[in-house]
A and B are shown apart, each in its own frame.
Chain A
Amino acid sequence: MIKHIVIAAAAALSLSACAPYMNLGSSELDNARKAVADAKAAGAEKCAPKLQAEAVASLYWAAHEVTERGVHPDENAELIATAIAKANAARAKAIKGCTPEIIKLEGVYFDNDSAKLRPASVATLDKAVATLNRRATIKVEVAAHTDSSGSDAYNLSLSERRAASVRDYLVAHGIDAARLTSKGYGETQPIASNATKEGRAKNRRVELRVMN
C-alpha cells in the first residue's frame, strides 16, 4: 500500500513539473515565430538585443496564453502583435547596420596629455577584469576616444597610447592578450558636443567593444 502511495506521489510530482504551460508550436503563433526567426537570422540578437529579447519574451508569453484557450483572447492577440512588431523592428535594425556591444568603462582617468593611468582608475579596471573573466568567451577591442581639444593627429596618437595602456593593465591582471586588441579613435567619434565642458568630458572615454 505504502509503496503504491510513494509511486503515485512521485508520479504526481514529476507530472506537475512538466505541466503544459507553453505551446510554442501553436499555429496561432506561426507569424510571430517566423518574424522572430527572421530577425534572429538577420543578426538581431547581436545588433538589436533589447528589441529581439522583447520580441522573444512576447512570443513565449503568447505561447503560454494559448494554453489558456479563450481566457485572455485580446491579451494574446496583443502579445502576438507585439512579438511581430518588435521582431520586425529588430530585423530592420540588424539589416541597417550592426554596432558592437559596448562595455562602458566609467571612471578611467589619465594624467594630463599622458597615457599613464591614474590610481583612481583601478576600481573600474578591476571591474572590467572581473567582467572579462566572467564572460570568458568574448574578445574585445579597447577603444579610447578624446575630445576635440588639440590637433587631430595628436588626439589620435594620444588615444592609441591610452587604449594600449588600458589593454596592458588588463593583460597584466590575467586577461589573455589574444582576447584583446586596442585602438585609438582620437576625436572622430564624439558622443556629445565638444562645445561644452560637460560634453568634452563625455567624449574623453575608454570603452570595450565586444567583437564576437
Chain B
Amino acid sequence: MRILFMLTALLAFALPAQAKLFTSIEERSDAITAELQGNNNYHANLARELASIASEEKGQHDLGAARVFIKMAEEEAAKAGGAK
C-alpha cells in the first residue's frame, strides 16, 4: 500500500517537472531567445518562430497547444547549436 502511495506521489510530482510544467511558457520562450542570440541558421529561426506561436497560443488560452509548440521550439533550439 505504501509503495502505491509513493508511486502515485512520484507520478504526480515527477511528470510535471519532467515536462517543465512548472516553468511558464514566457520563461521558456525568453530562454530560447537568449540562447539563440545572434544565431541565424534555419533551426534557430524555426525555434524563435515556434516559441512565438507558443506565446500566441497561450494568449488565446490554448495551454495544451502552447506547451506542444514550446517543446518543439526547445528541440529546434537544441539543434541550432546555441548563441553565436
Contact = CB atoms under 8 A, between A and B. Distances in A.
A8 to B, nearest CB: 11
Interface string A44-65: 0110011011101100110010
Instruction: Name the interface size band of chain B.
Output: 20 to 34
Contacts, number: 72
A6 B7 contact: yes
Contacts of B64: 16, 19, 21
A101 B41 contact: yes
Contacts of A172: none
A64 to B, nearest CB: 5
A3 B65 contact: no
Contacts of A138: 81
B38 to A, nearest CB: 8
Nearest to A3: B4
Interface of A: 2-3, 5-6, 9-10, 13, 16-17, 19, 21-22, 45-46, 49-50, 52-54, 56-57, 60-61, 64, 101, 103, 127, 131, 134-135, 138, 210
10 contacts: A5-B8, A13-B15, A49-B45, A50-B40, A50-B45, A56-B46, A131-B81, A131-B82, A131-B84, A134-B81
Across the A-B interface, the 8 shortest Cβ-Cβ residue pairs: A53-B45, A57-B49, A49-B42, A135-B81, A53-B46, A45-B42, A21-B68, A50-B45
